[in-house]
Structure 1
Amino acid sequence: MKTHLRILTLGVLLALAACGKATVDDKPASITRSDTCSLDGMTLADFPGPKGQILWADGKHDLFCDTREIVATLLKPEQQRAMKGAFVQDMGKADWDKPQDAWIDAKTALYVQGAKRNGSMGPTLATFAERAAAEAFVKQYGGKVFAFAELKPDMASMDGGMDHDQKM
């Protein structure tokens, strides 16, 4: 009887441990020195400015070295698939030159477009959790504050490179 009770207890503990692990997997991952951008292979830790990540329903993460990349991905309906969450960094709390953690929900974040502060891909969308921090950033670096719902695909365009040159 004691053996059955021990086996049952062990089973319950293992089940609880598995549940705990599942909730950890639903959170954004910290960036490590070896993490690379899912779109272009750039090492995230080597570049300034806010980063992004998507946690897909299958448990896989896509990391983005620039917020324009994650916004472009989120705004393209042909690229939509089931996700658990999308995250960007709160630049009101993270160091611009070496941002770490400070993850916030990408769809509730505020975005500053047109600032004189570059991210890994040049001009970027600075991201903030609080309007006061976004407005302080705008006062110092210029730009305009947008809610996620106000963003348009052309605001995060990744095509054409410099000056949107699409000629060969």
Structure 2
Amino acid sequence: MLVALAAAVALAACSKEEAAVPPPHKTDVAATGYYCGMLLSEHAGPKGQILLESRTDPVWFTSVRDTFTFLALPEEPKDVAAVYVSDMGRAASWESPGDAWIAAQQAVYVLGSDREGGMGGPEAVPFGDEAAARAFIVEHGGRILGLEEAKAAIADAARPPGPATPD
């Protein structure tokens, strides 16, 4: 009896944790990038949204690169409830990925491709299916990384070069 009760409590706790993760928001026509203040629709490539416990509306990003930057910066809020990125394997097109959202931790990322993201910079291109990522690499180059590796690579690329050393 106690074992059954403990199992029921454990299952209920798991269900509450899973239910606590909010789903992605649909992209609003007025959605603007957090850093650039421009409409998401004005930029090609994958997008990101971060849901914070302290806000009802998502924090929108014109690129996955900017999404990762927000997560890395110490001055940005840390009450992250969920992070979603465009699943480019299910996206309508590169120019307009639509609402093909995937939880960031469930995606694989292609870095080093010839495709540019929002604001014309290098991009971490997310895919929910590794086969779709491999097909993308055949056409556009790059390599597949997991979430933490992709975040680290974006952070490394954003660091300014160190001081020049005398010859």
TM-score range (shorter-chain normalised) is 0.7 to 0.9
Task: Confirm or deny: 8 A CA contact 1:36 1:43 kept in the other structure.
Answer: yes
Q: Where in structure 2 are the equivalents of 1:94-105 lying within 5 Å?
A: 94=91, 95-105=93-103
SS at match of 2:105: coil
Alignment partner for residue 91 of structure 1, among 88, 103, 110? 88
Distance 1:159 1:44, change over 3 A: farther
Bigger-Rg structure (1/2): 1
Contact 1:53–1:88 (8 Å) recurs in 2: yes
Query: Deviation at 1:150?
Result: 1.5
Q: RMSD across aligned C-alpha pairs, in angstroms? A: 2.4
Per-residue CA deviation, residues 20-46 of structure 1 (Å, 9 max, x unaligned), is: xxx7x9221111221111111011012
Provide structure 1 residue ranges, at least 5 long, that are not aligned to the other structure: 1-22
Residue identity opposite 2:86 in structure 1? Q
Note if 1:64 corresponds to 2:61. Answer: yes
Residue in 2 that maps onto 1:155: 154
- Between stretches 70-79 and 110-119, larger displacement belongs to 70-79
Residue equivalent to 2:25: 29
Cα distance in 1 for residues equivalent to 2:152 and 2:37: 22
Deviation per residue, 1:38-78 (Å, 9 max, x gap): 11101101211000000001233100001100012223455
Q: How many residues get paired?
A: 139
Structure 1 CA distance for aligned equivalents of residues 55 and 85 of structure 2: 18
Deviation per CA, 1:130-167, whole angstroms, max 9, x where unpaired? 1101111011100111000222445255577xxx8xxx
TM-score normalised by L of structure 2: 0.74
Letter in 2 for 1:136: A
TM-score by length of 1: 0.74
Between the aligned partners of 1:80 and 1:41, the Cα distance in structure 2 is 18
